[in-house]
Amino acid sequence: MSRSVFKVLDIVKKIKSVLVNNFEGINEKDILISSPPDIKLGDIAIPLFSLSKKLNFPLPDLAEKCIPCVKIEPFVEKVERVGGYLNLYLNREIVAREIIQQVLLQNVQFGSSFSGKGKKALIEHTSINPNASPHVGRARNAMIGDSLSRLFRFEGYDTEVHYYVNDMGRQIGLLVLISGEIENLDFNGILEAYVRANQRAENDPEFAKYGYDLLAKMEQGDEEVRKKFFKVTEMCLKGQLQVLKRLGVEYDFFDRESDYIESEELNKVLEVLKAKGALFIDEEQRLTVDLSRLGYTQEEGRYFVLRRANGSSMYGYRDLAYTIYKGHRGADEDIIILGEDHKLYLQQISLILSSAGYKPPVPVFYSYILLKEGKMSTRQGNVVLLSDFLDTASVLALKRVQEQCKELSKEEQNLIAEQVAVSAIRFAVLRVTPTKNVIFDIESALSFEGDTGPYLQYSCARIKSILRKYGKEVHDDIPEPFPVQQNEEWMLVRKISEFPFTVLNSIEQCNPSIIAGFALDLAHIFTSFYHTCPVLHVDEEEIKIARLQLCKATLQTMQNALYLLGISVPERM
RNA sequence: GCGCCUGUAGCUCAGUUGGAUAGAGCACUUGCCUCCGGAGCAAGGGGCCGUGGGUUCAAAUCCCGCCGGGCGCGCCA
């Protein structure tokens, strides 16, 4: 069921205002605009059921009255009533011209409504514990966050991306402890070291205690200990960032948790909580917030501990301080990407912040990536490391590139293979709505066939090939009228016209999968067009040019969509 | 136990916020490279949209109950 709506032109807006002006007692919200289930039934559909009811006007009469109103010149060619629907047929040649023109004029900006102009967005994402190489499950956070960052930038927001470096805590303490025992510990050895440290802590209370002691010294600002923590976490962070960079994920700011051990402003917030009777020292000497005093109604999750009995801070304390800091950066949109396991936690800190007059960040939650065999577990060894996946995908892609692009240099071939590998993983993860679990199937993610990132790149490569073979620059002046002969051409135009709407929809819902779905639709329609409509092999020069322009507009739209997903488009593959 | 999320073809997922005949890909069957790139296209089979009620002109979509899956629930981060 396609519900394409022509957003590029203001036809929808015009229809609404015309109807509102012609009928008393209705407003724009009463008028629904959708589109017919089949291209044969027209391009825009207006269901009249509720209008007829609201106006107390028999449906056939209402339809009769509406038909001349919505026949908006010169775009609407024909209006028909089918059952309770008013179906509008657009003038393909005029509408297509307008749309293709817009795409070619706006090129890399086509799709943006600039809704974020003059506004600022702050996005925090990824925050993988610096203790291991990231697996694809963890990377879902980074991919969603990165894609949203691209969306916000695309819409004109002044966007800053933050990475919160969790360089504290008992786990890191243990890691620092054991790193002192291993010579030349590097990023590759870190996971093993981490696992070993945890095992030892379980069996050796002495060792565990050292971990805590080290953490306490770190908190108290012991310079030497701080240096040790920094050294280990920095090495780990660098390694992780290298892998993430392969995916095209980058950050503007790295904020270290250890810089938020003490916060005067947060202490003032705590005074507010105290005044509300929400802050107390519990029976085990922990500094605790009783959220029920702030409006929290559940018993589960009612208490939120800020400091241990020995006075050391908990993650929640530091994160509250950090969140306050972020709030002062003046962002209109303050967004944080979190795994679904943080839902209650975020609710808790949001309650604390808002009860002291702060605006909490807007969370985007995502569910875990599962393997067919079940959950990913580092301990059980059934994880798919991001770097491993990229390596195998890249090798597989290289084989095909070597066959198909023999004339290219080795470096170019490698580059393309890497681009294909990245698109395979990014698309496989991003195409699924964040709130749903992703069942990750390595086999199909590596197949590059069907609804995959490489398929999208492939369809672009085909367009580029056509444009290359044409040999000349395809100019941007669109003929009037623009010839549209086949349904496939028209369907392409319709799909392209949806893109700005899709972008807005995606950013409103903070859901990149909407873009992914759009890219797939567009690619399918294009390949269908490709097989039915010859571009270079047509005699009439006007048709050839028009189709070349349609190809160019399709490519531009596809590249813009893929850019938002962090997928780059090779010239050939 | 309580709370949040989720259930659509054998499998992996869409379904533009309540609209017309529920759509793709994988897998299976059948065609299509002397023709702009077969990482492709065209066609076919395959559905009680978890289940039982309700709301209305209209429900995969909204509300309630039940069942299955994911996540969480006081010194982890």
Hey, what are A377's tokens? 């577990």
Distance A356 CA to B13 C1' (A): 43
Pairing of β A85-90 and β A76-82 = antiparallel
Q: What are phi and psi of A493, to 5 degrees?
A: -60, -45
Ranked by mean pLDDT, which of A137-151, A171-185, A376-390 comes out on top?
A137-151
Taking the C-alpha atoms of residue A387 and residue A246, their distance in angstroms, rounded to an integer, is 9
A458 Cβ nearer than 7 Å to chain B strand: yes
Question: Which nucleotide has the least CA–C1' distance to A305?
Answer: B74
User: Please, what are the domains in chain A?
Assistant: 11-90 (3.30.1360.70), 263-312 (no CATH)
CA-to-CA dists, residue A356 to A288, A350, A360, A374, A499, angstroms: 16, 10, 10, 42, 41
pLDDT tens sequence across A357-416: 999 999 999 999 999 888 887 666 788 999 999 999 999 999 999 999 999 999 999 999
Question: Which nucleotide has the least CA–C1' distance to A439?
Answer: B12
Distance A83 CA to B57 C1' (A): 12
A308 Cβ nearer than 7 Å to chain B strand: yes
Mean pLDDT of the A135-144 span = 95
For position A3, what pLDDT does the model report?
A: 41
Mean pLDDT of the A105-130 span = 95
A534 Cβ nearer than 7 Å to chain B strand: yes
Q: By the 8 A CB rule, do A31 and A20 touch?
A: yes
Residue A572 neighbours by CB distance under 10 Å: 17
A171: confidence class by pLDDT, cuts 50, 70, 90 = confident
Element (H, E) at A38: none
Instruction: For CA atoms A464, A465, A466, A472, give the dihedral sign.
Output: positive
| pLDDT tops 90 at residue A8 | no
Mark the nucleotides of strand B covered by protein, meaning any atom under 7 Å from a CB. 1-7, 11-17, 19-27, 35-42, 57-58, 60, 69-77
A12 Cβ nearer than 7 Å to chain B strand: no
| pLDDT tops 50 at residue A234 | yes
Preceding peptide of A481 cis, ω within 30° = yes
Distance A283 CA to B16 C1' (A): 53
Residues 333-392 of A with CB under 7 A from strand B: 340-345, 367-368, 370, 375
DSSP state of A123: E
Mean pLDDT of the A347-356 span = 96
Q: How far apart are the first and last CA of chain A?
A: 33
Percent pLDDT > 70 in chain A is 98
| pLDDT tops 90 at residue A130 | no
More confident residue, A471 or A184: A471
A427 Cβ nearer than 7 Å to chain B strand: no
Give the residue whose CA sits closest to B58 at C1': A49
Q: What are phi and psi of A217, to 5 degrees?
A: -65, -40
Taking the C-alpha atoms of residue A505 and residue A155, their distance in angstroms, rounded to an integer, is 12
| pLDDT tops 80 at residue A563 | yes
Hey, what are A234's tokens? 């920095």
The 3-class secondary structure across A396-415, one letter per residue, is: HHHHHHHHHCCCCCHHHHHH
Task: Tell me how many degrees the CA angle A385-A390-A393 measures, rounded to the nearest 5.
Answer: 125
Distance A4 CA to B49 C1' (A): 22
Hey, what are A305's tokens? 């501990």
| pLDDT tops 50 at residue A1 | no
The tokens 């394409």 sit on which residue? A4
For position A349, what pLDDT does the model report?
A: 97
Residues linked to residue A313 through DSSP beta bridges, in sequence order: A307
A194 Cβ nearer than 7 Å to chain B strand: no
Preceding peptide of A74 cis, ω within 30° = yes
Nearest CA to A111 among A515, A446, A444? A515
A301 Cβ nearer than 7 Å to chain B strand: yes
For position A377, what pLDDT does the model report?
A: 74
Instruction: For CA atoms A481, A486, A489, A494, give the dihedral sign.
Output: positive
Question: Which nucleotide has the least CA–C1' distance to A341?
Answer: B71
The full DSSP string for A334-397 is EEEEEEGGGHHHHHHHHHHHHHTTPPPPEEEEEPPEEETTEE-BTTTTB--BHHHHHHHHHHHH
Taking the C-alpha atoms of residue A291 and residue A288, their distance in angstroms, rounded to an integer, is 9
3-state DSSP assignment of residue A444: helix
Mean pLDDT of chain A: 93
Mean pLDDT of the A520-532 span = 97
pLDDT tens sequence across A441-490: 999 999 999 999 999 999 999 999 999 999 999 999 999 889 999 999 99
Distance A354 CA to B57 C1' (A): 45
Residues 195-214 of A with CB under 7 A from strand B: none
Half-sphere exposure of A12 (CA within 13 A, CB side): 21
Taking the C-alpha atoms of residue A243 and residue A498, their distance in angstroms, rounded to an integer, is 34
For position A552, what pLDDT does the model report?
A: 98
Least confident of A131-140, A261-270, A288-297, A533-542: A131-140
A23: confidence class by pLDDT, cuts 50, 70, 90 = confident
Distance A426 CA to B20 C1' (A): 36
A465 Cβ nearer than 7 Å to chain B strand: yes
Q: What are phi and psi of A232, to 5 degrees?
A: -70, -50
A129 Cβ nearer than 7 Å to chain B strand: yes
Give the residue whose CA sits closest to B16 at C1': A3
Distance A455 CA to B43 C1' (A): 21
Whether the predicted interface score ipTM is above 0.90: yes
Distance A382 CA to B65 C1' (A): 39
Nearest CA to A497 among A518, A475, A524? A518
A9: confidence class by pLDDT, cuts 50, 70, 90 = low
A12: confidence class by pLDDT, cuts 50, 70, 90 = confident
3-state DSSP assignment of residue A537: coil
